[in-house]
Amino acid sequence: MRAPTGRASRTTLSAVLATALLAGAVAATATPVSAASTPAAPAVRLSAATQGLPPDWVARGSGYFTTNDASDMLHYQVVTAGSGVPSDQVRFKLQAFDRSIAWKTLVMPNGLGSRWDISIDPYWGRYTAENSLWAHEVDNGQSLELWKSGFLNTGRRVLYIGDLAALPGGSLVTFTWLDDD
């Protein structure tokens, strides 16, 4: 369930981040991010053709996408060189900076029967979370899953993210949830 915000339908992320920082809403677990490095949502809603990520999303390096919920807008970025991630790992990060966004989870399976939840809940001050797979585990044909809060706070899957085998060891993949009106 979303909290009332009393804000305009589109608030810039930099304004939201500044407000959260001034109000002390950023929890100690949040990763500091400057407003300049936070991607802003595109001014025009993406068409249904951009739902999900294209098969070459890793090669593209970054972009915007939606889920099967028309209110969602996300940005992704793949950093390979200079990511700070050891070359035998691939790190996945989920983040959001708008306090009115309810909980989100990125389910990260290793394709061998194990899976881990990377969960955030900006409304309660958890703006970022991350976890890693061994580099050889992204080549097992699995897909990441994006989940979000649904009716009565029950979770619902809104997107599968495949084509993980294209991620080289040492990659940092960041998914930023921009809008969930």
Q: How many CB atoms lie within 10 A of CB 140?
A: 14
**b/e string for 109-132 if b means 16 or more Cβ within 10 A?**
bebeeeeeebbbbbbebbbbbbeb
Closest Cα partner for 38 from 68, 62, 58, 69? 62
In this predicted structure, what is the pLDDT of residue 39? 65
Per-run averaged pLDDT (10 residues), the chain, 181 residues: 39 39 35 50 50 91 93 95 95 95 96 96 96 96 93 88 96 95 71
Q: What are phi and psi of 51, to 5 degrees?
A: -60, 130
d(CA 131, CA 6): 34
pLDDT tens-digit series, residues 106-124: 999 999 999 999 999 999 9
In this predicted structure, what is the pLDDT of residue 37? 57
In this predicted structure, what is the pLDDT of residue 29? 36
d(CA 32, CA 96): 12
In this predicted structure, what is the pLDDT of residue 42? 59
d(CA 94, CA 40): 16
In this predicted structure, what is the pLDDT of residue 49? 40
Measured in whole angstroms, the distance separating CA 83 from the mean position of its chain's CA atoms is 17
